[in-house]
Structure 1
């Protein structure tokens, strides 16, 4: 018998078991897409969490009355603050700790917020009608608080002039140079071209209307 004729049955016999086991006769069959996003060993996936930034605290000088004299109190609050929020704190009066020190206020409780306008070193504060007529000491409290707050906003100004407009158009003016300084203001660096050194004493007697 021809040798090639004998090889055909042997080849068929070898292929039959493979077909019975379900193994395809073709090459490798790919199923699905390759895996993606595989992490390195020891690395776990977790959603990123942003850590909230801590709110800074600032010292805000407020002017109250002690034994008839104007005094500056440095109140520590979450900052930053602006002129409007500073005035709201002032009109609320001394807190429990400050009252315990004997501090008082001559400013009334404000039902409405004053209107504030700034123009360089000048600041104008228009009081609502509900504020009524203020005493000289109350005007000093208001003007000095606003003046020092303005200098904290822009230390390069060197000084600030505050005009308080009371109901009925009555005006009273004050300068930051006439205001006693609190610790926070004394520790602040002096503005360029100004002399360093704390001021002492109470405000000069302005015209409170």
Structure 2
């Protein structure tokens, strides 16, 4: 008697989970730009004499990782490494990225210890809703460099309002302190 009741309860719970049904499968286009996944994989950087700091994500928290590279990367090269996502070894440690969909391309210009990062438009139907982590990844990565203290964002040359950890939007230059509440303890 208990098994039929348990089965009926399970059916009712699954039917009422709040997700609407569709008559046919729907194709969801992938986000534009690089999409880090185990299938594509980010290249493993060489083990070199210089440490490159990148900020990745684990359990909705920002996590700083260090990679050994052959030389000090340019700001654009470091952004490219960040956009490529975690290496296979980093993914095995539970690290991911919030960048696909929120930020698909990024280039930077540095002037007087301030990086102005021009980001491309997000793709449609990206499935991402964690822009605060994505922008936090960029800010924390770039401000870990010795030559950058603040980061501001542009889209097509126009100042872009981005979310801080507290949810507020700003067009002002940002520092890692703006995302301190999202950083995982070491």
TM norm structure 2:
0.55
* Matched residue, 1:93: 85
Rounded to whole Å, the distance in 2 between the matches of 1:176 and 1:145 is 9
- More displaced 10-residue stretch of structure 1: 96-105 or 133-142: 133-142
Q: For 1:165, which of 154, 165, 174 is the aligned residue?
A: 154
Q: Does 1:147 align with 2:143?
A: yes
Q: For 1:79, which of 67, 71, 84 is the aligned residue?
A: 71
* C-alpha displacement of 1:170: 2.7
- More displaced 10-residue stretch of structure 1: 70-79 or 110-119: 110-119
Q: Does 1:174 align with 2:171?
A: no
- 1:134 to 1:111, Cα distance in 2 relative to 1, 3 A: closer
State the secondary structure of the residue aligned to 2:99: coil
Contact 1:125 1:162 in 2 (8 A): yes
State the secondary structure of the residue aligned to 2:151: strand
- 1:120 to 1:77, Cα distance in 2 relative to 1, 3 A: same
* C-alpha displacement of 1:138: 0.4
Size of the aligned set, in residue pairs, is 122
Rounded to whole Å, the distance in 2 between the matches of 1:111 and 1:177 is 21
Rounded to whole Å, the distance in 2 between the matches of 1:111 and 1:175 is 18
* C-alpha displacement of 1:111: 9.9
* C-alpha displacement of 1:98: 0.3
State the secondary structure of the residue aligned to 2:79: helix
* Matched residue, 2:12: none
Gaps in structure 2 of 5+ consecutive residues: 1-46, 163-172
- 1:128 to 1:96, Cα distance in 2 relative to 1, 3 A: same
Contact 2:57 2:97 in 1 (8 A): yes
Gaps in structure 1 of 5+ consecutive residues: 1-54, 181-200, 204-209
> What's the Cα RMSD here?
3.1
Rounded to whole Å, the distance in 1 between the matches of 2:131 and 2:118 is 15
TM norm structure 1:
0.49
Q: Which has the larger radius of gyration?
A: 1
Contact 1:56 1:80 in 2 (8 A): no
* C-alpha displacement of 1:85: 0.7
Deviations 1:161-187 (A, max 9, x none): 11122467532342134466xxxxxxx
- 1:179 to 1:134, Cα distance in 2 relative to 1, 3 A: closer
* Matched residue, 1:202: 182
- 1:146 to 1:164, Cα distance in 2 relative to 1, 3 A: same
* Matched residue, 1:31: none
